[in-house]
Amino acid sequence: MEWKNILHMNAGDGETSYANNSTLQVPEGLESNNKENIYIAMTSPADVLESYANQFQRDFSKFLSFRGDEIVCGGRMVLSLAGRRMQDTSSIDENAQYTILAETLHDMVIEGLIEKDDLYSFNVPIYTPCPQEVETIISSQGYFKLDKMDVYPVPWVPSQDVDGDLLFENMRGAKDVAGGIRAVVEPMLASHFGKVVNYDVVFEKYGKKLAEHLSKEKPSYFTIAISLRRK
């Protein structure tokens, strides 16, 4: 791989920029009908989920095609994907970390710290498929046979069940979650909103909202693990 093709989190231009490269993966047109959300939320119109799902279908199919060209017949591949449990997204918000981040950014719009139009035009280029979607794409793509699929939860905060000061645990857990999300999302935010936004303030406010959420819920991420065999 040539050095110029390596992605940089906070530097680089064009294809060498993680943030700029990521924004190219956002489905088109979301800003017109997903206002105040930055991802799929319970309040998002159905076509928002459809736009994300269609792009995932194209991207994952292309990924499997490339790997199919590289792997010999009978060869195996194991993948781990961020996913969701349920096919229906209307009854439960499994992406609450992004819903809470959207609420944080909206609060900052009200405070005059972020422009409303900038918020309305921002969506994260991340999609968490359900197991049925993954299985359908593998079957229709044709290169691989699905040997096994498991979906397992990963708690946002590993110490959620530890006895002790609940408020302290919530604040500590929220700080950890906020830091993890910041590592992924801040380069995208900086690329979209620019340097006029104080991202320390963004994620301090975000952490406080996460702590409030953790005082009421014990949420988990969901991971889809799949074992594939080349036909």
Beginning with the edge strand found earlier in the chain, give each strand of the sheet holding 144-155 in spatial order: 76-83, 220-230, 144-155
> Which of 126, 130, 134 has the alpha carbon at shortest distance from 227?
134
53 contacts 202 by C-beta, under 8 angstroms: no
Q: Decide if 18 contacts 7 (C-beta within 8 A).
A: yes
DSSP H or E run through 167:
helix 166-193
Give the pLDDT of residue 11: 44
Alpha-carbon distance of 80 to 34, in angstroms, equals: 28
Q: HEC states along 61-112? A: HHHHHHHHHHCCCCCEEEEEEEECCCCCCCCCCCCHHHHHHHHHHHHHHHCC
Superfamily of domain 3-230 in CATH is Methyltransferase, alpha-helical capping domain (1.10.1200.270)
Per-residue pLDDT of the chain (231 residues; tens, 9 = 90+): 333 343 334 444 444 444 454 445 678 767 678 888 999 888 888 888 889 999 999 999 999 999 999 999 999 999 999 998 887 765 556 788 999 999 999 999 999 999 999 999 999 888 899 999 999 999 999 999 999 999 999 888 876 554 545 555 778 888 889 999 999 899 889 989 988 899 999 999 999 999 999 888 888 889 999 999 999
